[in-house]
Amino acid sequence: MRSVRLATMLLLSGVLAAGIAATGCSSPKTEAEKPSGGPTGGPSGEPKKSKEVKAVEAKGSGTLKGQVKFSGDAPKPAPLDFKKTDKKTDIAVCEAGSEEERTDPTWRVGPNKGVKNVIVWVEPAVVGQYFVIPDDLKKPAKEKEVVKIDQPHCAFVPHVEVFYPSYFDATAKKQTATGQKLEVANSASIDHNTKTDPGNTLVNKATNDLIPHMTKNPVSLNFKPGDDKKPGDFDVVKLACTIHPWMNAYVLVVDNPYYAITDGDGNFEIKGVPAGTEVKVNYWHESFDKPKSVKITLKDGETADPKIEELKK
């Protein structure tokens, strides 16, 4: 199945790549959507321009800063239908959740029309290349050693996360662990389970099994961004609970530290982004079939807006 998907991806992306031109300094350009295997994303599937795995030659670093906005009238999140669970005794617990836990999490649009939970991340513009990660970013910040998703009532909180389990090591020429862990906890008084949908992940399809956890001991999920010998892969993994069919969450698995999730009003900021070289700024919202991207070249010390287009429902 995977090889068929990959072959299709490579074929499609070859056609698209032919139409993509390079851009100049700090001038973002919208690129055609990147084809990928899963409905919500998948590893980079573009053809290699060269088989050589090569370091990006950066000159300093800059900051990407911007806002992802919604086009048109903001949708109002509909209440979730808790009657959809077969465990009717759970409903009282579900109803005790916060407003965010009780309403459809797909669109969270802030007062200034910014869209929450859009993931923005950077990868080298040339497939096969990799960023040389500075030592201080080869491991997670203290407060991010564990990326934790909880289920306090009947929703995954947070709903969207990024997991950075490994980076491509220049010397070893392979993915090397950052030490970051991804854990799903259940602090509710009722049972939940966590499963990954094989239709929504390529590289992590092996984790497609039920992970029951009715205790407060969190379950550790060993997702990886892609091939251990390759740089630049990523995967969007969807988590679901089979007991409560409305429950889902998304985890983007990446191999570099240059990422952000938009806040309640769509704002994002990514510091330390390699400058002096063109980079690809990917962005993804759960309404997308696959991630989209723009390209930009930062100057050393510069803060620039990659100008992500407004999202529509």
Among 241, 251, 296, 298, binds Cu ion (CB under 5 A): 241
Q: State which of positions 84-113 bind Cu ion (CB under 5 A).
A: none
Restricted to residues 247-266, the positions that interact with Cu ion (CB under 5 A) are 247
Closest approach, Cβ 188 to Cu ion, in A, equals 8
Residue 241 Cβ vs Cu ion, minimum distance, rounded to whole Å = 3
**CB-based burial label for 96 (10 Å; 0-12, 13-18, 19+):** middle
Nearer to Cu ion by Cβ, of 170 and 243: the residue is 243
Shortest distance in whole angstroms from residue 213 CB to Cu ion? 10
Residue with tokens 């009238």: 73
Query: What whole-number distance in Å separates Cα of residue 165 and Cα of residue 170?
Result: 16
# binding residues, Cu ion (CB under 5 A) = 5
Nearest CB to Cu ion, comparing residues 241 and 252: 241
Q: Stretches 18-26, 137-145, 237-245, 273-281: which one binds Cu ion (CB under 5 A)?
A: 237-245
* Residue reference for tokens 């997991």: 163
Shortest Cβ 90–Cu ion spacing (Å): 8
Q: How many Å apart are CA 239 and CA 249, to the nearest integer? A: 5
Give the nearer residue to Cu ion in terms of CB position, either 192 or 280: 192
Percentage helix, strand, coil for the chain under 3-state DSSP, each rounded to 5: 15, 30, 55
Residues 187-216 that bind Cu ion (CB under 5 A): 192
User: Running DSSP on this structure, what letter comes out for residue 40?
Assistant: T
Q: Does 244 bind Cu ion (CB under 5 A)?
A: yes
Degrees to nearest 5, angle at CA 268 with 27 and 55: 60
Name the E strands within 54-197: 54-55, 61-67, 119-124, 129-130, 146-149, 160-163, 166-169, 174-177, 181-184, 193-196
Alpha helices by DSSP H, the chain: 2-17, 91-95, 99-102
Give 146 or 243: the residue with its C-beta nearer to Cu ion: 243
Which of the stretches 9-17, 32-40, 186-194, 277-285 binds Cu ion when contact is defined by CB under 5 A?
Answer: 186-194
Q: What's the CA gap between 163 and 165, in Å, rounded?
A: 6
Contact at 8 Å (CB) between 146 and 246? no
Look at the block and give the residue holding tokens 């109803």: 95
Considering only residues 114 to 133 of the shown chain, the ones binding Cu ion according to CB under 5 A are: none
Given the rule CB under 5 A, which of 37-45, 72-80, 243-251, 273-281 is the region that contacts Cu ion?
Answer: 243-251
The answer to whether 155 contacts Cu ion (rule: CB under 5 A) is: no
Judged by CB under 5 A, the residue of 243, 264, 303, 307 near Cu ion is 243
User: By the criterion CB under 5 A, which residues form the site for Cu ion?
Assistant: 192, 241, 243-244, 247
